[in-house]
Amino acid sequence: MITIGVVIPFYQREKGILSKALESVAAQALPEGVRLIVVVVDDSSPLPAAEALEGFTLPPPHQLITIRQANGGPGGARNGGLDYLDPAEVDYVAFLDSDDTWSPDHIAEALKVLKSGVDFYFANCSFNDVDSFSHWNYIKARHGTFGAYAPEFGELTSTEAVSAIVDECLPHASQVVYEFRRHSRVRFDATFRQACEDRLFFMDLSRECDRIVYTTRLMGQRGKGVSIYDETLAWGSPNAPNRVIEELRFRQKMMSVSYFGMAKKLRIFGSARQRVDHLLFLILRNLRHNPEIAKAAIGRFVREVPMFGMFLPVSVISLPLHYLALRRQAGL
C-alpha cells in the first residue's frame, strides 16, 4: 500500500470552496493500492473547517482529518499538516490550497514520475485561463510557449532547481508532490506570512533532492478564494507593505547563504531595487490614507531590511515613473 498525505491549509470565508477542492481529491483516478490521508488544517479560519466540511466524507481506505490551530499563516498551516503525518506511514506528500482543484489524473501522473527515483515533482496549472508556467522566463526559454510546449517534461538537478527557484517561484504549491520519508524534516519558514514562504520551502527541499522533474501539462486549476498573497497586491491593502518587506527579507536571506556565488548574489541584491520603489510608493500613499500602516512599515524596513536603504535616494527620484507604470498596469 502506497500512502500519500494531502495537506490542505484552510482559511476561507465562504462555503463551497473547500468542498470543490476535496471533490477534486475524491475524483482522483488512483492506481490500485494507493490511499490518501487528507489533512485539512484550519488556520483559525473565519469559516470553521468543520462547518465547511459538513456532510463530506472520503470512502475507505482514504482518511479525512481536520486540525484546528492558532493562526500561523500559510506556512504555519502547512507545517501543522506535515507535523501530523508520520514518515514511517506516509510515502509522499502533496499540497492543495483550499480554493484550488486537481485534474483527475494529477496524483497518478505524479506517482509515475516519483516511482522512477524522482524526489520532487511539480506540474503546470491554470489561473484565469492562463497557465502558470507562461509567466516564467525559465520555462519559456526551455519549452517555448503554451500550446506548443516541448518537451513535455523537464528535469533539474538540485543546484539547477535552487538557482531557478530563487529567481522565479516555478512550482505552485497545489501542484507539488514529493518523497516524504527522505525529506520529512523540511518545513516552511512561518515567519514569512505574506510572501516567499513557499519559495523558501521549495529551495530547501530542492537542496536535499537528487532529481526534480516537472511537467508542462496542466494538472490543476487555481481558485479565487481567500489568498493571503493576492490580497496584498492591492495598493490599499493593509498588508501590502508587509508583503514587499517580506520579499526584501527573502533577498536579504539569500545574501547570507553559502550556496550562491557573488555574481548570483549581486543579481539577487539588484532585484530588490524595484521592491524598494514600490514600498516607498505604498508608504507615501498610506501616510495620506492610513498613517499607522505607514509608520509600521517604516519601522519594519529599518529593523529588518536596512541593507536595502541604499536604494532609497534612487527610489525617491524614480517615484513619479514608478507611479505612472503602476497606473498603466492598472489600466488607469
130-154 average pLDDT score: 93
Please enumerate in sequence order all residues whose Cβ is within 8 A of that of 132, keeping only pairs 6 or more positions apart, or say none. 124, 125, 126, 172, 175, 222
User: How far is residue 307 from each of residues 9, 36, 272, 282, measured CA to CA in Å?
Assistant: 33, 46, 10, 19
pLDDT (tens digit, 9 = 90+) per residue, 182-238? 999 999 999 999 999 999 999 999 999 999 999 999 999 998 755 544 555 566 788
pLDDT at 273 over 90: yes
In this prediction, residue 174 carries a pLDDT of 98
Residue among 139, 202, 141 at smallest CA distance from 166 = 202
Q: Which residue has the higher pLDDT, 111 or 128?
A: 111
pLDDT (tens digit, 9 = 90+) per residue, 70-100? 999 999 999 999 999 999 999 999 999 999 9
pTM attached to this predicted model: 0.94
Lowest-pLDDT range, 171-175, 256-260, 322-326? 322-326
- CA gap 325, 191 in Å, rounded: 31
User: What is the total residue count of the chain?
Assistant: 332
In this prediction, residue 236 carries a pLDDT of 72
Average pLDDT over all residues of the chain: 93
In this prediction, residue 289 carries a pLDDT of 87
In this prediction, residue 268 carries a pLDDT of 97
Assign 146 a pLDDT band (cuts: 50, 70, 90): confident
pLDDT (tens digit, 9 = 90+) per residue, 234-258? 667 888 999 999 999 999 999 999 9
The answer to whether 81 and 41 have CB atoms below 8 angstroms apart is: yes
The answer to whether 186 and 204 have CB atoms below 8 angstroms apart is: yes
In this prediction, residue 323 carries a pLDDT of 84
Q: What percent of the chain has pLDDT over 90?
A: 86
In this prediction, residue 147 carries a pLDDT of 79
- CB under 8 A, 24+ apart: contacts of 28-31: 28/102, 28/104, 28/105, 28/106, 28/107, 28/108, 29/104, 29/105, 29/108, 30/107, 30/108, 31/108, 31/111
